[in-house]
Amino acid sequence: MKGEKKIETQKREYLFDNLKALLIVLVVFGHVLERFGLFPKIRGIIYAFHMPFFIFISGYFSKNTEKIENKLIKNLLIPFFIFNTIYMLSVEDCYYTTFEERLENFNLFRASYLYWYLISLFIWRILTKYITKLKLPIIVLFILSLYIGLVNDAGRFLSISRTIVFFPFFMLGYYTDKSKIEKIRDISKVTTIFVLIILIAITFILCNEIIDVNLFKNAQSYKYSNVRNLKGICVRIYQFAVASGISICLINLISSKNNWMSNLGRKTISIYILSPFIQELLYTIVEILVPDVIGNNFITLIISMILSCMIVCICSLEIVHKTYNNFINIIYKFIICKN
């Protein structure tokens, strides 16, 4: 058994564990800032690339389609329907003040908050074997991702908008192999840092004044995002470019060795799914204790960083991670009939 465990550990790609750790911290930090409704420029930098890169990594690890399909219900559908439902009925601020109002307007298939990623990932992995039969699949998906912004009916139902918009990143990851990753890591680190700084600086300048941060979420049509179609298309193209550039830079710069980030990267699923509830609890505490401090200031930024660290630490505790997995396993065994 020890020998098997050692072999399994050696097979892990610590680079991607470390990248996922960085990204999950940014996901939580971005959501904490959004909960405060502050720092749009910082959120803009994060939103421009963090989910596209996460999705790229998901595509990278989706090459074994048969093995993955066997776990889709357990790893994606069950968590989506359970936690998305709980969030909508208990936490989400969707203009409904009472539980009865929430229940009356409840839609089981509407992806809420960050849970859209689960249903989108389910769809991507189901469709991959069909998309790969197309000629130039990434170009076709890229054109579709620009077009879907013109469709006003494409929104949060089954996360249709985001599913189509971010599909090219998933397929880019799918078609990327270790040799391409190694070529990226051979690029000069000095050049990479310079490019990264430029991309971050340009995005910082554009966000808020020229680009509404919420456009990077791609949750709805250009019209419902209050921009003209041409501007919406241009922003989407810009996001594809900057997300690709920053992702390449991070692949080159992040360590590929096993360290504390690697352990965090292995627990991203429990952090991702449970963080909204811990975030809401901590936000309420802050709002009660220091309501006068909250504002677009340095103190709030520090508070946001502290809260983000607390959320990640709590959700990545071994007991939390194991409890989450055990809970999903119990539900899976309860609803699935095995032949």
Could you read off the pLDDT of 321-338 as tens digits, one per residue?
Answer: 999 999 999 999 888 866
Cα distances (Å, whole numbers) of residue 40 to 211, 216, 296: 10, 12, 10
How many percent of the chain have pLDDT more than 70?
Answer: 93
pLDDT at 293: 81
pLDDT category of residue 25 using cuts at 50, 70 and 90: very high
Q: Are 108 and 82 in contact (CB under 8 A)?
A: no
Contacts of 5 (CB under 8 A, 6+ apart): none
Residue of higher predicted confidence among 303 and 100: 303
pLDDT at 4: 42
pLDDT at 138 over 80: yes
Residues paired with residue 110 on neighbouring β-strands, in sequence order: 157
Distance CA(297)–CA(41), nearest Å, equals 13
Give the predicted TM-score (pTM) of the model: 0.91
The DSSP symbol for 114 reads G
Mean pLDDT confidence for 225-237 = 96
pLDDT at 339 over 90: no
Among the residue ranges 105-109, 177-181, 206-210, the one predicted with the least confidence is 105-109
Amino acid at residue number 185: R
pLDDT at 1: 40
Mean pLDDT of the chain: 90
146 φ, ψ to 5°?
-75, -40
Cα distances (Å, whole numbers) of residue 304 to 20, 32, 95, 296: 20, 6, 25, 11
Model confidence over 32-62: pLDDT tens digits? 999 888 899 999 999 999 999 999 999 999 9
Closest to 150 (Cα-Cα) out of 224, 238, 231, 221: 221
pLDDT at 93 over 70: no
pLDDT at 94: 52
The top-scoring range by mean pLDDT among 29-38, 88-97, 236-245 is 236-245
